Amino acid sequence: MNNLENIVSLCKRRGFIFPGSDVYGGMAGTWDFGPLGVMLKRNIMNEWWKYFVDSRDNMYGIDAAILMNPRTWVASGHTATFADPLVECKECKSRFRADKIANGISESVTTEEFLATHTKCPVCGKENWGPIRKFNMMFKTHVGAVDDDTSVAYLRPETAQGIFTNYKNVIDTIYPNLPFGLAQQGKAFRNEISPRDFILRDRECGQMEIEYFIAPNAWEENFEKLLSDNHYFLEEIMGLPKEKLHDYEVPEQDRAHYSKRTVDLMFDYPNGEEELMGLAYRTDFDLQNIARESGKSMEYRDKVTNETFVPHVIEPSIGVERLFLAVLSSAYTEEDTDGDKRIVLKLPENLAPYKFCVSPLLKNKPELVAKAKEVYDQLRAKYTFVTWDDSGNIGKRYRKQDEIGTPKCIVIDFDTLEDDTVTVRDRDTTEQIRVSIAEL
């Protein structure tokens, strides 16, 4: 059965994801990616970059600092508005995000609206709540040797502002034609009130974001094009089932303070429908705020018409961990064959950590091991992501490779020594065929 507990178990058992600081008892809302998790994560991020940046003439990458001048967050509105509704149980003192424990309410919920839901505390079961307070989710730190209000800085809660603050640098150096996009991948930090659901809601996460700069009158056509592009990426390149993706037109009262239109792409995770990514029309909100706070012009001069204006922006933003979990949960399969359960990660081949696993039929036969090493070296030189396995019997090796998503297993046996052919076993069908080494 495809449920979150099974996926979490697989992740730890096979080295995809471990609880953060596990040896010390862990730390809520943090997760560490193991050897296989890093490979899958990098493949996901590389495919995103290849599709949205490398394959396009009008997309450019940047990599901004995590620590930024605190005026950044004043101008963006985060200092004043980046807050969640926090509610505390008066009985057990547990704290929760109000809109996540009560049904039918939004982030803008009032105390009266929350109390009217008669929600019971998930910890103690009592219904005795304090008033809702706004809890700012930015992590605060101090920069330099002095620990006072003059040294306050924040870990960035989003990667977007690093793009906006570099907009003028890009215009002044490469002066791209409109429309153009600036893309960034990097860490963001949010002091979640109650991190939950594995890597779906955590305090440290990866983001992949684009700020797409456009002429103000061209936002609608560009919005629809980017929405279509993201569907193609998720469905065709990430392999997510179309029936599990849903467009949600976010109503005005629930949109971020900067957005004139937002469509959230929702995904059917094992624990229910949750946001996978968002597409927001930010207008010129950010650039105008930067101009006001910095005193520097954010205008763009059109190369053809010579007209000057502040560009508007459309932002596709996706969380790396959320996409990772969507890919993993889509690929996770349990098959029952004559009472024997087989767990398979049916990952798309472009995402699988290893493309091939090479094995000698018997590890105590030097001639088989030598030939298998020769095949392994050839494949590794060509495909890089190739693994070796000679532990246990061949059936156990197949099961292990099925669980980590390796598409093809290659076995060197005694026939190989005679005719230079190997057995190639397919992960999804379990079918086996003989193929010459030269064809690999």
Does the structure show a pLDDT above 60 at 1?
no
- How many structural domains is the chain composed of? 2
In Å, what is the CA distance from 131 to each residue of 64, 100, 105, 236?
38, 16, 15, 46
Alpha-carbon distance of 379 to 51, in angstroms, equals 26
Alpha-carbon distance of 105 to 114, in angstroms, equals 7
Q: Which one, of 355, 251, 351, 264, lies nearest residue 315 by Cα?
A: 264
The one-character DSSP state at 306 is: -
Write down the pLDDT at residue 109: 86
CB burial of residue 95 (10 Å; 0-12, 13-18, 19+): middle
Write down the pLDDT at residue 107: 76
Both 254 and 388 in one domain: the answer is no
In this prediction, residue 288 has a pLDDT band, given cuts at 50, 70 and 90, of very high
104 inside domain: no
Mean pLDDT score across all residues of the chain: 92
CATH number at residue 265: 3.30.930.10
Torsion angles phi and psi, residue 415, rounded to 5: -65, -30
142 inside domain: no
117 inside domain: no
Both 259 and 161 in one domain: the answer is yes
- SS3 string, 383-411, reads HCCEEECCCCCHHHHHHHHHHHCCCEEEE
Question: 12-61 pLDDT, tens per residue?
Answer: 999 999 999 999 998 888 999 999 999 999 999 999 999 999 999 999 99
Both 301 and 384 in one domain: the answer is no
Alpha-carbon distance of 346 to 330, in angstroms, equals 8
Both 278 and 230 in one domain: the answer is yes
Both 178 and 30 in one domain: the answer is yes
Please give the residue range of the domain that contains residue 211. 4-68+156-329
The one-character DSSP state at 440 is: -
Question: 136-161 pLDDT, tens per residue?
Answer: 788 888 898 877 777 889 899 999 99
261 inside domain: yes
Share of the chain above pLDDT 70, in %: 100
In this prediction, residue 259 has a pLDDT band, given cuts at 50, 70 and 90, of confident
Both 409 and 323 in one domain: the answer is no
SS3 state at 167: helix
Both 275 and 390 in one domain: the answer is no
Q: Prior bond to 157 cis, omega within 30? A: no
In this prediction, residue 2 has a pLDDT band, given cuts at 50, 70 and 90, of low
125 inside domain: no
